[in-house]
Amino acid sequence: MAGRPREFDRDAALEAAMLLFWRKGFAGASMNDLCDAMGVRSPSLYAAFESKEALYLAAFQHYATTEGQAVWDKLADGATARAGVENLLLAAAGNLPKSRTAPAGCMVALSAVSDEWPASITREVRKVRLELLDSLCARLAAAVASGELPGATDVAALSRFYLSVFQGMAIQAKDGATQADLKGAAEAAMAAWPGDGG
Amino acid sequence: MAGRPREFDRDAALEAAMLLFWRKGFAGASMNDLCDAMGVRSPSLYAAFESKEALYLAAFQHYATTEGQAVWDKLADGATARAGVENLLLAAAGNLPKSRTAPAGCMVALSAVSDEWPASITREVRKVRLELLDSLCARLAAAVASGELPGATDVAALSRFYLSVFQGMAIQAKDGATQADLKGAAEAAMAAWPGDGG
DNA sequence: GATATTCTGTGTCGATCATTACAGAATAGG
DNA sequence: CCTATTCTGTAATGATCGACACAGAATATC
């Protein structure tokens, strides 16, 4: 391919954009901020990512397939669905608070919770959040099929419940909750597992 | 007091501002939008509310003392703390989804979850959210004192857990969850009450 | 009724926003 | 080497943002 070669690392720039969007949201991260954080001038940025909206969607996908995936993969970990859900919530407790390298909260849980966001982003974010609900439903339905959970279990309700715990933990992480704080909430949530005594 | 009398109803205007901020967030609601919704020209608006930031804080307080209070008052309803928490979550399930008169979600739970908001608003919103946590802690601590809950109960963790359920329900309401959806999640959450069998 | 005071409406302020024209620089293919 | 192509940097675009100057209108007090 002819033409002057790109002077910046596209993946590194996307990672920087992800971190800024993660911290400040869509409207809060201006193109100026993004250019600074990515180390790229705006014409190069537009040539590589098309628009701010497209850049956000790319950064969001990047988040979902790296940071987000690492936590939600835990749902498949463990011999039982109960262990999977517990692993998920404990991983969330470990990852949601602010760290040296990552902002607090979760891009998937906390993006587009007001109507100020572009419609295409709201649509995509909602889709991914509903996929989280689906993955919980699938794991719990399998547990019903295997006999781990009673046949009368309301899988949809139980899935929504555990999703809400995860999402609420993300909000509390934004408010400064520590790993220990969230671990306590996660353990309390596991007491709701059908069949567990109190 | 001398001077030309105000031609608009300050409380009605504040209510309109609250509804718009509730739906669109701080940055999403422009002064133009607000003027239209409130039926007021901007100089009158600034004379009555000082600034956009101050207007948001006033609208937020209005929300907290009306819409929010109506739900969180339920925590005191019922003979036991368990009944109080259940009433709270069921009221949330009834109120959080979009209705004819109100937007979906909760201004307290969903405001300022990204760093794009003015610092004064972030501070105030966080303060109110922590007050919700405190009110849960107080109710549960009283239940421990009265013997309703075991002395070994981790009140802080249990409070954080129920708060997270509420907050997560607010996010799901934004994503279109129905009253029935949220009622299921609330009921599942009550199964985590210490001492309840599964 | 005169005056001080407060509100309303028009119009606009500088700042910031996302986006892009344009020209120069660097590469690939011929 | 020459040309087409793609990137980089400077600078500017129109739009929109929050906020306000100004003049006219409406009230209270004296």
Nearest CA in chain A to B33: A116
Q: Give the pLDDT confidence score for residue A119 in this predicted structure.
A: 96
Q: Give the pLDDT confidence score for residue A1 in this predicted structure.
A: 66
DSSP tag of A6: P
Q: Give the pLDDT confidence score for residue A124 in this predicted structure.
A: 98
Q: In chain B, what residues touch A177 (CB-CB under 8 Å)? A: 160
pLDDT along chain A (198 residues), means of 10: 88 98 96 97 97 98 98 97 98 98 98 94 98 98 97 97 98 98 98 81
Report the C-alpha gap between B194 and A187 in whole angstroms: 12
Q: What would the pLDDT profile of B15-64 be if each residue is shown by its tens digit? A: 999 999 999 999 999 999 999 999 999 999 999 999 999 999 999 999 99
Report the C-alpha gap between A179 and A186 in whole angstroms: 10
SS3 assignment for chain B: CCCCCCCCCHHHHHHHHHHHHHHHHHHHCCHHHHHHHHCCCHHHHHHHHCCHHHHHHHHHHHHHHHHHHHHHHHHHCCCCHHHHHHHHHHHHHHHCCCCCCCCCCCHHHHCCCCCCCCHHHHHHHHHHHHHHHHHHHHHHHHHHHCCCCCCCCCHHHHHHHHHHHHHHHHHHHHCCCCHHHHHHHHHHHHCCCCCCCC
Going from the N-terminus, what domains does chain B have, and what CATH number goes with each? 53-190 (1.10.357.10)
Question: Which tokens sit at B104?
Answer: 């979906």
Q: Give the pLDDT confidence score for residue A195 in this predicted structure.
A: 83
Question: Which tokens sit at B176?
Answer: 């279109």
The Cα of B189 is separated from the nearest Cα of chain A by a number of Å equal to: 6
Q: What would the pLDDT profile of B104-148 be if each residue is shown by its tens digit? A: 999 999 999 998 899 999 999 999 999 999 999 999 999 999 999
Nearest CA in chain A to B28: A116
Q: Give the pLDDT confidence score for residue A197 in this predicted structure.
A: 63
The Cα of B185 is separated from the nearest Cα of chain A by a number of Å equal to: 4
* DSSP codes, A61-79: HHHIIIIIHHHHGGGG-SS
Interface subset of A 158-197, CB within 8 angstroms of B: 158, 160-161, 163-169, 171-172, 174-177, 181-182, 184-197
Residues with CB under 7 A from strand D: A 1-8, 40-44, 47-48; B 1-5, 27, 29-33, 42-43, 46, 51-53
Q: What would the pLDDT profile of A63-107 be if each residue is shown by its tens digit? A: 999 999 999 999 999 999 999 999 999 999 999 999 999 999 999
Report the C-alpha gap between A22 and B192 in whole angstroms: 32
Q: What would the pLDDT profile of B72-94 be if each residue is shown by its tens digit? A: 999 999 999 999 999 999 999 99
Q: Give the pLDDT confidence score for residue B1 in this predicted structure.
A: 65
Instruction: Give the residue-averaged pLDDT of B1-8.
Output: 85
Of B121, B94, B182, B160, whose CA–CA distance to A188 is shortest? Answer: B160
10 Å Cβ neighbour count for B122? 19
Interface subset of B 116-145, CB within 8 angstroms of A: 116-117, 126, 129-130
Q: Give the pLDDT confidence score for residue A2 in this predicted structure.
A: 77
Q: What would the pLDDT profile of B152-197 be if each residue is shown by its tens digit? A: 999 999 999 999 999 999 999 999 999 999 999 999 999 999 987 6
Of A123, A93, A121, A115, whose CA–CA distance to A190 is shortest? Answer: A93
Cα torsion B151, B89, B187, A180: sign: negative
Q: Give the pLDDT confidence score for residue A89 in this predicted structure.
A: 98
Q: Give the pLDDT confidence score for residue A3 in this predicted structure.
A: 81
